[in-house]
Chain A
Amino acid sequence: MRYGKFVAAAACGLLFACQPPQGTGTETDAVAPAEGETASEVAVAPETPTHWTSDGNIGNGLGPVSNDDLLAGSADTEKWLLYGGNYANYRHSPIDDINVDNVAGLRVAWAFPTGTVQQFEVSPTVYDGIMYVSSSNNRLFALNAATGELYWRYDHQLPDDLRLCCGIVNRGVAITGDTILMATLDAKMVAFNRLTGEVLWEVTLAPYADGFSATSMPMIVRDMAIIGIAGGEYGVRGFFDAYDVATGELRWRHYTIPEEGEPGVETWAGDSYKTGGAPAWTSGAYDPETDILYWTTGNPAPDWNGDLRAGDNLYSNSLLAVNPNTGERLWHFQFTPHDVWDYDGNTQLFLVDVERDGETISAIVQANRNGFFYILDRATGAFIEGTVYVEELNWATLDENGRPVVNELANPVEEPDYRVCPSNLGGMNGAWTGAYNPDLKLAYIPSVESCQYYEKGITVFQKGQAFLGGTPIPVDVEEGIAHGHVSAIDVNTGEVRWRYMDADPMMGGALSLAGGVVFTGNQEGFALALDAATGELLWKFRMGGGMRSQPVAYQAEGKSYVAIGSGNFTTFVAFAGGPTAIPEGGHLFVFALPD
């Protein structure tokens, strides 16, 4: 490992022309000249390195990641290449030597710190015996997947005036060929050589100062990296892009809000479509058999005051079916038209076959942030079924087409006194994952039960400024009744089969193993293993920080591992409900059975 950017300030020639890089923890410690000295004679402390590369002699010589590798996904137990494990987003591994009978014996194999605060939401990527781990603040580490040895590291340098709603998070990096891709909080995407860590290219998705950011793992489809933008709280015009992995060239952009003259613009009053949000801040799903890409969108802006944007506000809170070659929209289904609760429609999509009345239907199912579990026809987007997967839901019912019939009492008002359920965090939320066991036909959904008041206010749009229109008031937190659960949902019917209950909202991701175990974690800081069939708690380990990551499983050197990140964001704990006294700080734990 060597310093890739070990540049002493003196090398710049003019001391005072050298500005320390903006961001976190990288200020140059320059010494001011004493009287009589010139700047060139003054000793200058070296700039803190921000990039450590490798000589490239790492891994097992597996060669570049192929398209077949991506299509196989987590079916190859030595790899975890995609955010969802496979393109259908099952987050399920065939690993069965960790199972219901022995999971209680799991021990820490190795651990690794991130050195950063706030949520550690990563879904690690594993290939060729190397694990790629991104942390909050866009740090990226390449580690030996069996031992945790650090191979290379990159600290993305961020400006101080980021436009974020919800923390300095990143959920993982994509891989294809010999390239690793990371989206950044300042709305860029950076490509790295997977073996050396050297930067191959960097593109700006949009100006961060206008309210844009990017937090999700890019999704690889063939030779393209697809990435969506965040910024729904800033009134941006949402989009998701496809970039050529080899060059960083933009192939296409899909805007989530139509322009004047395009279909759907009539669903926005006046000029409100120009500041309508509808971000695309999570990863999608892909059906290789039909070559259809599925992407989802978030809330319209402003979040909690819809007075100026009368109409359905297409294509906010929607599922979009897209041609991945062109970005052309094929069809859409809108979950929450004219949202005034911040019910982003972008939780995890599962591509599953469901049995309905003796017929097998290719479906998409989703536990939406609005509290409904949707079963849709994957080919057409037609609504099949909607059930309630949270304990309390009172903002709407669904009609026969899946369109909400809104409870007027739930609308934000200036002096609210009506508990609206679920909260603007969900239910489930796009910031964490669920998992699906194809043998049991159960989807495992970590969820929040924390109802809120919604206070409507006065707002104006100003580019780069939060555009919210109101505020949620976490009344259940204040009453001490906010809590959470993992719900196991039968994808054929949408019925909840079992719940694992927790004292705090559950906001960590999930992993399913063929060994009949579901891994997740809670805000108290425990990694948890549940019986996939019953929800019984089989194992827990106190990691320390609250669990907000997306666990993965893999095999290295013949041994099976489960990787789970620890580290929460106190502000969010206070907002959702949970133990605020636990300090922040990211730490990755990798578990295995004893030899």
Chain B
Amino acid sequence: MPSNRTRGLVAGTVALATTLLGACESSTPADAFRADAEALKRGKALFAGTCAGYCHSPAVERAAPYLFDCTWRKGSGTDQEIFDAIADGVPDTAMLGFRGKLPEGDADIWRLVAYITTSGPGC
């Protein structure tokens, strides 16, 4: 089995990430999803199907930023900043906004936020 960054990083980091984020940011809808295995599973599926591949690959750095190393090009990586980047896109880049596009709307964006923030090393 591969020891890759794409797999098996969710469960063990949920509590730590929640604690660290909670210390510097008010509550967001991502908080509940971080503690919800089904929500994280859907966040993972959304990420694999919509964000990864040839863009934000969790396996290698591609043209789009790698999202699991706690460094952020926009802001400091708060839940709201990540949500806004997904929802509204990043101007003058190939990153378009997904507000109103995903099957379950804002909730799916928050599930993505939850997945992204719990799948790295813990920031």
Contacts from A to B (Cβ < 8 Å)? 160-167, 233, 302-305, 414, 417, 455-460, 462, 464-466, 468-475, 477-479, 570-571, 574-575
Contact = CB atoms under 8 A, between A and B. Distances in A.
A233 B53 contact: yes
B121 to A, nearest CB: 17
Interface in B1-56: 1-4, 6-7, 41-42, 44-50, 52-55
A227 to B, nearest CB: 22
B96 A473 contact: no
Given A233-B53, A468-B54, A478-B3, 19 more contacts: A160-B92, A163-B94, A166-B54, A456-B48, A457-B47, A457-B49, A458-B103, A459-B49, A465-B96, A469-B49, A470-B52, A471-B53, A471-B57, A473-B6, A477-B59, A478-B4, A479-B2, A570-B61, A571-B62
A571 B2 contact: no
B42 A458 contact: yes
A161 B94 CA distance: 5
Contact of A475 (B2, B48, B57, B62): B2
Contact of A458 (B3, B50, B94, B96): B50
A162 B6 CA distance: 27
Interface residue tally on B, bucketed by range: 20 to 34
B55 A466 contact: yes
A144 to B, nearest CB: 35
A460 B103 contact: yes
Contacts of A303: 53
B53 A468 contact: yes
A464 B1 CA distance: 35
B47 A462 contact: no
The 8 closest A-B pairs by CB, nearest first: A457-B49, A457-B48, A468-B53, A471-B52, A459-B49, A574-B60, A478-B2, A458-B49
Contact of B93 (A161, A458, A477): A161
Given A458-B103, A471-B57, A475-B2, A164 B50 contact: no
A460 B50 contact: yes
A575 B1 CA distance: 17
Given A161-B93, A457-B48, A575-B60, A233 B2 contact: no
Contact of A305 (B49, B60, B94): B49
Contacts of A161: 92-94
A473 B59 contact: yes
A496 B52 CA distance: 36
Contact of A471 (B48, B61, B63, B102): B48
B53 A464 contact: no
B3 to A, nearest CB: 7
Nearest to B2: A478
Nearest to A573: B60
Given A166-B54, A574-B61, A473 B92 contact: no
A364 to B, nearest CB: 29
B74 interface: no
A460 B61 contact: no
A302 B7 CA distance: 22
B17 to A, nearest CB: 21
Given A303-B53, A457-B52, A468-B54, A164 B42 contact: no
Contacts of A469: 49
A420 to B, nearest CB: 14
Contacts of B63: 164, 167, 571
B103 A571 contact: no
Contacts of A472: 53
Given A473-B4, A473-B59, A575-B59, A460 B48 contact: no
Contacts of A163: 94
Contacts of B58: 471
Contacts of A468: 49-50, 52-55
Nearest to A164: B63
A506 to B, nearest CB: 19
12 contacts: A233-B54, A414-B48, A457-B50, A458-B45, A465-B96, A466-B50, A468-B49, A468-B55, A471-B59, A472-B53, A571-B61, A571-B62
Contacts of A456: 45, 48-49
Contacts of A464: 94, 96
A164 B54 CA distance: 9
